[in-house]
Amino acid sequence: MIVLVCVPAWGHGWAVFAWTLWWMDSLLAMACCFHLTWVMMTHRRPELAEMTALYLIPIVAIVIAATSGGLVASSLTNEDHKLWTLVISYIFWGIGTPLSWIILTMYFMRMTMYKPLEREVIVSLLLPIGPLGLSGFSIIVLGKLARHVFPLTGTVPGMAQAGAMFYLVGLMLGLVLWSFAVQWFVIAVVMMATASSFPFNMGWWGFIFPVGIFTLLTISISEEFDFRFFKILSCVLAGVCVLAWVGIAVRTIKRVISGKMFFAPCLGTDLFGKKAPAK
């Protein structure tokens, strides 16, 4: 928001402020990704049947840092600062994206070998769309920036078209990841549609981020390819996101007032430590 609104309105000082915040965010994202991945590997030994898509949450943080790095770098005026931010963002992308694929493979195995998810957490089926859509959007953003920065900084000496190559590879990967996200999207929608009615809880907010980031990826592809199909789909998905957000927000407010909102289905308790009622 700072880059998109404050920098155009009030100048370069806000770009430096956004860059400073990005460094802070990057440190937190690395700590979150590395520490929680280590915790999952060493401190918990649950059965695979207990696994949910929530394992992806720590990984998404560092991919978000990569995405925001590309957006922040585009507002900087110093080309060297742009280049280093871009390179670090590519490194973040390389850390988070393959790791999310590993977790998705485990999650796919869990879904094929064990019983379906409980209806209280079935909304988490949409979560795999998040890292896929975010990785695709991020690599397109970084590729567009590389196309501009590499020629100006002389990056990859002896290859004048290195920036264009990074851009094209990013666009190709973005389209591939969009296609993979479509597969998860369809499976999640079908499984939720065929499941018995599931109760409204905090997990419903899991609708918003995955669909929203998938919409951003679709918009990015529509801007680069200029296909009418992607433009129409972008409008439809954006409308779905807005309607979903409004609907979930209204129901959330109602349940907050009644005190019924604070049940965490992934923990089996509410935020005050009370156990869920026996079935």
**DSSP-assigned states of every residue in 201-239:** -GGGGGGHHHHHHHHHHHHHHHHHH--HHHHHHHHHHHH
The angle at the Cα of 223, spanning 218 to 228, to the nearest 5 degrees, equals 75
- Considering the entire predicted model, what is its pTM? 0.88
Q: Which two tokens stand for residue 186?
A: 């369809």
CA distance 275 to 15: 47
Q: Which two tokens stand for residue 44?
A: 């918990």
Q: Name the residue among 103, 20, 121 with its Cα closest to residue 58.
A: 103
- Decide: helix, strand or coil at residue 157: coil
pLDDT tens, residue by residue, 180-206: 999 999 988 888 888 777 777 777 777
Q: Name the residue among 265, 268, 1, 241 with its Cα closest to residue 129.
A: 241
pLDDT tens, residue by residue, 228-239: 999 999 999 999
Confidence of residue 278 (pLDDT cuts 50, 70, 90): very low
Say if residue 56 is exposed, middle or buried (CB neighbours under 10 Å; 0-12, 13-18, 19+): buried
Pick the CATH number of 2-270 from 1.50.10, 1.20.1740, 2.60.40, 1.10.3470: 1.50.10
Confidence of residue 279 (pLDDT cuts 50, 70, 90): very low
Tell me the C-alpha to C-alpha distance, in Å, between residue 212 and each of 37, 130, 206.
25, 8, 10
Total length of the chain: 279
Region class of 108: left (phi > 0), else alpha (psi between -120 and 50), else beta = alpha
Beta bridge partners of residue 270, listed in sequence order: 263
The angle at the Cα of 145, spanning 143 to 149, to the nearest 5 degrees, equals 120
Q: Please give the pLDDT value at position 27.
A: 95
